[in-house]
Structure 1
Amino acid sequence: MSPLEDMSWPGSATGDLNQKSSDHYDNALHDQKLDSWRVCFASDSTEQCIETDGYIRHEDFVCSQDNVYFHDVALLHLSEKVSNIQPVCLPYAEETLPSGDFCYWAGWAAAETGGINTNMKFQVPIPIMSSEACSQSGFWQNQLTASMVCAGFEAPEKLKSSCMSGAEGALICQSASNSAWEVQGITSFGPNNCFVERKPQVFTKVSAYREWVEDKMKKYSYEKNMA
């Protein structure tokens, strides 16, 4: 486990970027530039937004006809380093999460205020679900891979507390070994209406891409310095 030493690299899900702006997304894939994008970091009272100048998506990213995302991970490079923000750690490669452990799902979700659609910050406790439970009939069955992690409640009456259809963000868990906070998941896909479908949320498993993240960061920095 290690923190993100270069504070100019936030992670994201490729599918989230694709949904936000498909026209610019296509152009971005061509030249690896996202000069019209900003990444915002918010606390309870302040918000800091920084422009991006580079984008790297996973080369094997695929979206199925069922809107299931595979290798749903991307890196954004910020035009400047972030200040006054406490980073979370990256987990060890292939680190696993015990079923039933509670993590925090934090990010942004759509909300309606006075008839106006806005984005609201959210943070909800949510338990890790085993791949066996998440793959059962009525949930995601055979659509899961080893590079995904599920979180949510099996009991329908408990689902409401973590229902966030269309949300974006990260799954933050506390390490059992040293109490450090780690980004264990990136929001990938889930039910279109979690109150109706009653399916758990699926996250990209960050530990499965630890080496990919490090390799891409090093390659990008090397090529940028050589340019």
Structure 2
Amino acid sequence: MLKEERHKLIMREVNLHNKVLSADLSRLLDVSEDTIRRDFKELIEAGRILKVHGGAVSPSFHFAHNMQGEVYAREAKQAIAEKTKRLLKKDITVLIEGGTTIIELAKAIPNDLRATFFTLSPQVAIALSDREKLDVISIGGKLSKNSNVHTGASVINQLAEIKVDLCIIGANGLSVAEGLTDSDWEIVQIIKAMMRSSQKVAVLSISEKLNTTQRLKVCDLQAVDYLITELPPDDSFLNPYKSSVELM
């Protein structure tokens, strides 16, 4: 495989999953990890990715608070945000994660919505802070530099003490067979704790992430109440998901 082709595939994986591991890319592209590290070096120098322990992340994910920065599939994520707003009723309590799709949701929330939002993401808290009628509560802990959300035992303990109407999370990988998956062990534990604290769970995902799987299991698809993509609910691409989750 030519270097240009590898770079294109690496960028697709980074854009889809926000973070990629060099070991996973080595297996996917059937090249050595040394080759992946050299590719990373060139992409980092070009400003296209950021290096993190064991892999790389998208600059748009790492700096999601930069509203003028480039965000992969922004129009699709804005369409998802508009759909998600239908679930936000007056006086609802919401537990919300982080990531570029959820940042778009935070920006789209109406100024007159009266609600309470708990969030693990400093970026999301900042994006919500100018909504006059929202109560925004940050759940603090160790800040994960890979995902920009708070993680660790203190976060899980705080989550165990609350009960909300709706949990809103993004997807790293999602499929009918494997359910919701991720590549980060600490994030998996946090998402599980978020789901335990919630009456309903909504997963926000661009359609490109569907039918993909990461190495760590979060939950089966049946544990999710709503799947919100940019596609119409009756799109044939979503047919395999209809029996397990409500599509929006």
- Shorter-chain TM-score bucket reads under 0.3
- TM-score when normalising by structure 2: 0.23
Question: Which structure ranks higher in relative contact order (CA pairs < 8 Å, sequence separation ≥ 6)?
Answer: 1
Specify which structure has the higher proportion of strand: 1
TM-score, scaled relative to structure 1? 0.25
More helix as a share of residues? 2
